[in-house]
Amino acid sequence: LESTIISVIPFTQDASGWWVADMAMFRFPKGVVVGARSSRCAYGEATLSVSTQDDTLGNCPEGDGSVVLGRLNTATGKWATVLGGNGNTSSGSLSSVLGGKRNAAHGEYSTVSAGSENYASGLFSSVSGGSKNTASNTGSSVSGGSSCNAVGVLSSVLGGSKNTANGGNSAIVGGLSSVSKGRYSSIVGGIQNTATGQSASVSGGYRNTAVAKASVVAGGRQTKNTRPYTILP
């Protein structure tokens, strides 16, 4: 019986003592765990977990078809992935976290690429890095920076700190504590600037406000443009 079992094992031990698989495809309907099996995890179907031998630091692929690498990471969404880092969570279907620390991809198809304490909760939302950033609406994105929020549909924040893009299709590039409220509005740099009008924009400066539709404030200090389609220096 022993010789029969050995003859059908699809592995061969080489001269170095390594077990080498045959040149064949292998199918694992339930899943594969490399390293520790986590006692806190309810493993999904067709999952893959790669972690250390320490059970307390193990990964948890709970979603069917999920893949988890790194340390103390969890993928609860179907076909979700966490590819590295520490303490990350991917809970949306087809969501992904590529690395970093304590990041979370909650939205369906959402992605967090790196950084720490970043959250992508909107459908197709993304956070590329930085810390404590949030992309909470459909297609919203934050590319670096800290404590920035992309709230509007298809809104974006490219760096800076404490910036918030509230308007749909609005954008903020760098700066500090600025808010783009109007649809298609934009702010480039500066401190505490606000663009409330549709397609309004502020380019740098301090505490400037573009209120009217398509109004522009080009730098300066505490300037307010209430006239549509005009530019104030």
Write the pLDDT tens digit of every residue in 149-199.
999 999 999 999 999 999 999 999 999 999 999 999 999 999 999 999 999
pTM of the model: 0.91
Q: What are the tens digits of pLDDT across the range 191-220?
A: 999 999 999 999 999 999 999 999 999 999
Pair 109, 96: CB distance under 8 Å: no
Residue 2 reports pLDDT greater than 70: no
Task: Name the β-bridge partners of 186.
Answer: 171, 201
Closest of 82, 108, 83 to residue 94, by C-alpha: 108
Predicted pLDDT at 5: 52
pLDDT confidence of residue 10: 86
* pLDDT band, very low/low/confident/very high, at 52 (cuts 50, 70, 90): confident
Query: pLDDT by residue (tens digit) across 64-105?
Result: 999 999 999 999 999 999 999 999 999 999 999 999 999 999
Dist CA 112 CA 122 (whole Å)? 12
State residue 39's pLDDT score. 86
Per-residue pLDDT at 69:
97
Q: What pLDDT digit, counting tens, does each position of 8-24 carry?
A: 788 889 999 999 998 88
Answer yes or no: are the C-beta atoms of 193 and 208 closer than 8 Å.
Answer: yes
Query: Which pLDDT score, from 0 to 100, does residue 55 have?
Result: 79
**Residue 134 confidence (pLDDT):** 98
How far apart are alpha carbons 152 and 118 in whole angstroms?
A: 17
